[in-house]
Amino acid sequence: ETGVTQTPRHLVMGMTNKKSLKCEQHLGHNAMYWYKQSAKKPLELMFVYNFKEQTENNSVPSRFSPECPNSSHLFLHLHTLQPEDSALYLCASSQEAAGGLYEQYFGPGTRLTVT
Amino acid sequence: KQEVTQIPAALSVPEGENLVLNCSFTDSAIYNLQWFRQDPGKGLTSLLLIQSSQREQTSGRLNASLDKSSGRSTLYIAASQPGDSATYLCAVRPNNNAGNMLTFGGGTRLMVKP
């Protein structure tokens, strides 16, 4: 257990559905991240939140909409997805403080299949 | 733009062998480098983190080294076991002022045969 949980662990959705992925960290960290891991491609950063404010949006299509209501919770709202969005979506957190290690801790991921 | 490469992409060894996984990066202006382990379909487990000012870190049978000037890191696994079979990923974080995003390599898929 890394202290980062994700739900659901598996999700199958149609292209017209709307769903949300949830991430919760129990580590007291102040930064949270969404990553996408597709088959045969390196992990790609999607979004970064520092102190609940979005600081990175790595050219992600608008059909992915992040939400960070507090420093412990992060959501990824999905709508009108494409089959190529099928991937493992990973959430991570870290403590961002001057001089710190900035080690990132990852959740178990949500395996998303878009049909 | 930072690029991270891991060689080899896949490796199969008999149990008990010592092995080295390689990670190279193009921009030496890094804050730290992390090595992760990923089991199939699962999340990432952090193994070792090396700060840019450090040369190596050790945890049990694992030793990670960093040569920042040449853009290289190695992960040494001693006396490999079947339970070490997994994908190993390295990731670099840019210097403080460049944000807190990690750039990942493509990973090395390790199989340790009994």
Chain A hits for B4, CB-CB cut-off 8 Å, are 42
Give the pLDDT of residue A114: 94
In this complex, do B101 and A58 lie within 8 Å of one another by their Cβ atoms? yes
* Residue A69, pLDDT above cutoff 90: yes
* Residue A39, pLDDT above cutoff 90: no
In this complex, do B32 and A2 lie within 8 Å of one another by their Cβ atoms? no
| Better pLDDT: B77 or B98 | B77
Phi then psi dihedrals of residue A40, to 5 deg? 65, 25
* Residue B36, pLDDT above cutoff 70: yes
Question: DSSP string covering chain A, please?
Answer: --SEEEE-SEEEE-TT-EEEEEEEE-S--SEEEEEEE-TTS--EEEEEEETTEEEEE-S--TTEEEEEEETTEEEEEEES--GGG-EEEEEEEE---TT-----EE---EEEEE-
> For A94, which of B36, B100, B106 is closest by C-beta distance?
B100
Q: Model confidence at A5, in pLDDT bands (50, 70, 90)?
A: very high
Distance from CA of B102 to the nearest CA of A (A): 7
Of the CA atoms within 13 Å of residue A12, those in its CB half-sphere come to 1
How many percent of chain A have pLDDT more than 70? 100
Q: Report which residue type is found at B93.
A: R
| Better pLDDT: A58 or B30 | B30
